[in-house]
Chains A and B, each alone.
Chain A
Amino acid sequence: MTELLQNLINGLAIGSVYAIFALGYTLVFSILGIINFAHGAVFTLGAYFTYTLVVGQFENNGLIKGINLFPAGSPFHGSAWAFAAAALIGAVLSGVVAVIIERLAFRPMRSRGADPLLALVSSLGVALVIVNLIQILVGAESYSFPGDIYGDLKPALIMHVGGKLIVVRSVQVIIFAVSMVLLLILGYITQRTRVGKALRAVAENPGTASLLGISVNRFIVITFFLSGFLGGLAGTLVSTAFSVAGPYFGVAFGLKGLAVIVLGGLGSIPGAVVGGLVIGLAEAFVPAEYSAYKDAVAFALLFVILLIRPQGLLGRVQIQKV
Chain B
Amino acid sequence: MTGHVAPNAPFAPMDAGQQLLQATGLTRRFGGLVAVNNVSFEVRRGEIFGLIGPNGAGKTTLFNLMTGLTPPSGGTLTYQGKNITGFPPHRVAALGIGRTFQNIRLFKVLSALENVKVAQHARTGAGLLQGLTGRDRAEERLVDERAWALLDLVGLANRAGEEAGNFSYGDQRRLEIARALATQPQVLLLDEPAAGMNTSEKGELTGFIRRVRDEFDLTVMIIEHHVPLVMNLCDRVAVLNFGELIAVGDPASVQRDPKVIEAYLGG
Interface residues of A (CB under 8 A from B): 319, 322
Contacts and interface: CB of A to CB of B under 8 A. Distances in A.
B64 A322 contact: yes
Contacts of A322: 60, 64, 69-70, 101
Contacts of A319: 30
Interface string B55-85: 0000010001000011000000000000000
6 contacts: A319-B30, A322-B60, A322-B64, A322-B69, A322-B70, A322-B101
Interface in B98-148: 101
Interface in B214-259: none
B73 to A, nearest CB: 13
Interface of B: 30, 60, 64, 69-70, 101
A319 B31 CA distance: 10
Interface SS majority for chain A: loop
Contacts of B60: 322
Contacts of B69: 322
A322 B101 CA distance: 9
A322 B64 CA distance: 8
A317 to B, nearest CB: 9
B223 to A, nearest CB: 14
A319 B30 CA distance: 9
Nearest to B67: A322
Nearest to A321: B103
A322 B59 CA distance: 12
Contacts of B70: 322
B100 to A, nearest CB: 13
A322 B69 CA distance: 8
A319 B69 CA distance: 12
A319 B60 CA distance: 15
Contacts of B64: 322
Q: For the complex of A and B, list the 6 residue pairs with the smallest distance between their C-beta atoms, beginning with the closest.
A: A322-B69, A322-B64, A319-B30, A322-B70, A322-B60, A322-B101
B41 to A, nearest CB: 21
A322 B58 CA distance: 12
B108 to A, nearest CB: 13
B7 to A, nearest CB: 32
B230 to A, nearest CB: 23
A319 B73 CA distance: 14
A322 B70 CA distance: 9
A318 to B, nearest CB: 12
Nearest to B89: A322
A322 B30 CA distance: 13
A318 B101 CA distance: 21
A30 to B, nearest CB: 19
A319 B29 CA distance: 12
B237 to A, nearest CB: 24
B35 to A, nearest CB: 11
A322 B66 CA distance: 13
B70 to A, nearest CB: 7
A68 B30 CA distance: 62
